[in-house]
Amino acid sequence: MPPRGKVDSLPKEVRAWLDKALIEGNFSGYELLAAELKAKGCDISRSGVHRYGKEFAERIEGIKKSTEMAKMLASEAGDDEGALNDALVRILQDKLFNIVMEMKIDPAKINVASLSKSIADLARASISQKKFMAEVRAKSKATAEDVVKEVKKAGLSDEAANDIRKRILGIGG
């Protein structure tokens, strides 16, 4: 395993500044960033900042891709049953296992149970939210149908009744 880079040992506030500067500068201007770090009392070379910037950009890109994929899957397939959460938990378990193995971390020294519990809590919250949204959609649909029946009895046209249904369901203007 390669040694930790100098950027990894920066104080939190300096590293947060560097992360923000990298993003705002579109991951360029490494020489200027190295000079600014030196002015802040951190002696890190341009190539060191570049290595860190490259890894940071890759992590951000990976997160963006995962987020886009999850949104696409949820919109295309729906996720009322929590299938995405199941997949997420499996992926996180696999990643955690790989990290522990690659870094030769003693599992006794990390709180795997706490991390796993946090993942499970997030999954449960997401499933609860999806159930709630499914219930709201079902109630809205039932209400819309009841209203349409009543307004049709009162002599409203099919077109007007359909407009009311759409407004209740949030489909049309």
- The pTM for the full model equals 0.47
Q: How confident is the model at residue 1 (pLDDT cuts 50, 70, 90)?
A: very low
Reference 81, options 155, 133, 22, 150; nearest CA is 133
> At a CB cut-off of 8 Å and minimum separation 6, what does 56 contact?
19, 22, 27
CB 168, CB 144: distance < 8 Å: yes
- Residue position matching structure tokens 């947060």: 16
Reference 60, options 2, 19, 12; nearest CA is 19
For 154-167, write each residue's pLDDT tens digit: 888 888 888 888 88
For 43-64, write each residue's pLDDT tens digit: 899 999 999 999 888 888 877 7
Helix (H) or strand (E) holding 60: helix 46-77
